[in-house]
Structure 1
């Protein structure tokens, strides 16, 4: 379904849903030939899983991340606005890197005051946290930051970081894709000696799902309060 949503596979349901026929599309054939573009960035997933440990560590000079951004920029410039599978792949890679960073910044509320006041990002922040400086360079490439200030587009994404929470929380599962697809998937459900799940960051998952449902619950509250503020005869029975 994931590949079909990208137009790389065609799914046809047969025999009243008992069978499904899959066909690789021309677009999918081209994309698979370019799959090697993902390799370098997917090797970075273990770091992305623990990105909260690196973003705010003053002792970390994350040269590897800066190197990835340079490679991504070259790839993006090469296929800019081409609307080809190669262009889509660069967008996927951007999401792979941006998603965990957005969620970590959202959970920590690190830039909340700066965005609300529309202040420039203090140089001291970038001096104290070298990884944050690399992130700002990345956001500048995405046009989320301009002249050390968040653009409207950048604010749009940062304010919606919670929407990425659930997806990013399953990065530990994606890191074990080979085992999941071709090995023993039951290994994913093992817990650590402390009883923690190994296939999901549960704290992040709860944060993401809670935030995603916040609007729904708020609307339900409004409906319930409105109903029970009505005269007694107009309130629901039971």
Structure 2
């Protein structure tokens, strides 16, 4: 359940992967939620409750040095989430809960419309990518978003957008084969370039509603965002 674009809709209602179904549900149900001011903690890991925060901190502490994180470290964390699945409503993962509690949720609602509550059962591929980066302190270079189109544009605006599949790159897919930002439907991380016209990826919100490792056709890639990793 990862195609959520609304064709011929106004921009604020055009949401790829992690926001389209959300706004449709809110429009139909008439849900509203006043934007609230959340206080951002210095350590983003404190936004995750209890044992989850402790585990994430332990992972970051044991795999990082002086705040430098390698692509392999990020991919190890992403792979460790394989098997996590959504509920029957299409939500209920820790990635949903984390994003709803993060100050970025209020910001993206202000930009795109909808409500924070609507993220509860929204498509979550970009929430997964954002969660993984943030656990290792890479939110400023992986980015934090729930709308794949804006996330891709963010990479491009920083000059970190391209067409080469690199391990740890954030890969943006367009299932119709288009190469424009508004063709983007889905996002994940590149594990490796298979060298045969396919790449191996780790993604949240696959068609099975899980975090999974997949083999994808390069022809379906719109582009790649490149986080700044340690050498």
Q: Same fold (TM over 0.5)?
A: no
Task: Flag the structure with more relative contact order, 1 or 2, with Cα contacts below 8 A and sequence separation at least 6.
Answer: 2
Give TM-score, length-normalised by structure 2.
0.27
Higher helix share: 1
Larger Rg: 1
Higher strand share: 2
